[in-house]
Amino acid sequence: MTSKVDLRSDTTTRPSAAMRKVIAEAEVGDDVFDDDPTIHLLQERAAIIMGKEAALFVPSGTMSNSIAIKVHTKPGDEILLDSDAHSMINEVALPATIAQVLTRQFHSTSGIPDVEEIASYMRKETLHSPGTGLLLLENTHNRAGGAFIPLNIHKALWKIANDSGVPVHLDGARLFNAAIAAGVDASELASCADSITFCLSKGLGCPVGSVLCGSREFIFKARRVRKMLGGGMRQAGMLAAAGIYALDNNIEKLSEDHRRAKRLAEGIADAKGIELDTTSPPTNMVYFNTKMAAKDFANHLSLRYDILSGTTFFNRIRLVTHLDIDDEQIERAIIGIRHTGSTLGV
Ligand SMILES: Cc1ncc(COP(=O)(O)O)c(C=O)c1O
């Protein structure tokens, strides 16, 4: 029996033996009492990597974004974010429910915001209208094919936000992918934001967790909101140990995921029955449209070839490379997709 090739998401990785060892051996305490030494270590490490004063370990990227939006804004503010941002589409209306803010959506070209458009949206509170309370950016941009926002655009947006007195939160669930693709240090991208979150549970291969970074004052407030949302964890040093292991060992491996995504895209570029977005995926995601229902394509691929894919729209499929995908699996995926396209696409 062949094993499944799971390309649904980079969240599907399983902790390696080495990661499980550090999890088993982690020194722990009660983190709600701020007593867990391994969580302290992870938070200190993350703050240094991002060039921020402090950091907070949180259960998920969604909770991290919720906390950031809530801390930066007051109810009735307006936040600016991409119409396809994860916080807009996939976080169960959290800006409206948890922070009680209005969302003003901009449309980016390939995940890269238009600086002048953003500038035109900045506004002060008046008798009639809400004021801009936050600019939320996503890098890499999931639904825009894993696109990355280059540093010069971040710098321009940072200046506009600063000039308008508006804080910036960076949803960097895959910030290290963005940094590698942009050829810069993650801290340079983070320097253009007041707060930044990155996920340990995506390409970095951890079972759970994200880290929110910012000023000491921001993280102090964030800790209270995390508690309010039920995200205070106890002996979670076991999870933080996995995070430290990932920061030490798995960041550099992300470039392998990018290389494999490119090979995958090139291998299916002329496949029948599909229209590939690009043969040069910016990071670790390959998107294509199907000429038949995406769910039928995905079912065939799974049942016939043991290749798991993600359907993001009725005719759209996403494939994501990650730590648990090797070169041989990429070649299997290419064959499976080509055959599926030929079988169903005529
Ligand atoms: C860009 C982005 N932000 C935030 C999240 C949320 O992360 P989590 O699944 O840990 O809540 C995701 C998840 O895929 C994401 O892609």
48 Cβ contact partners less than 8 Å away, ≥ 6 residues apart: none
Binning pLDDT at 50, 70 and 90, where does residue 265 land?
Answer: very high
Residues 244-248, mean pLDDT to the nearest whole number? 98
Please report the domains of the chain, with CATH numbers, ordered by start residue.
17-249 (3.40.640.10), 253-344 (3.90.1150.10)
CA–centroid distance, 86 to ligand 1, in Å, is 7
Q: What percent of the chain has pLDDT over 70?
A: 99
* Residue 18 confidence (pLDDT) above 80: yes
pLDDT reported for residue 1: 45
User: In the predicted model, is pLDDT for residue 245 greater than 80?
Assistant: yes
Place of tokens 């094993």: 3
Q: How confident is the model at residue 93 (pLDDT cuts 50, 70, 90)?
A: very high
Average of per-residue pLDDT across 196-204: 97
Q: What is the mean pLDDT of the chain?
A: 97
With a 6 A CB cut-off, is 38 part of the ligand 1 pocket? Answer: no
**For position 346, what pLDDT does the model report?**
59
* Binding site membership of 7 for ligand 1 (Cβ less than 6 Å): no
| Pocket perturbation via mutation, ligand 1, pick of 10, 86, 170 by most ligand atoms within 8 A of CB | 86
Which of 145, 122, 142 is CA-nearest to residue 132? 122
pTM of the model: 0.97
Taking the CA of residue 64 as reference, the ligand 1 atom at the shortest distance is 11
Q: Which of 135, 123, 220 is nearest to 171 (CA)?
A: 135
Q: Is the CB of 171 under 6 A from ligand 1?
A: yes
Task: For residue 197, name the pLDDT band (cuts at 50, 70, 90).
Answer: very high
In tens, the pLDDT along 97-135 reads 999 999 999 999 889 999 999 999 999 999 999 999 999
Both tokens assigned to 199: 């996920």
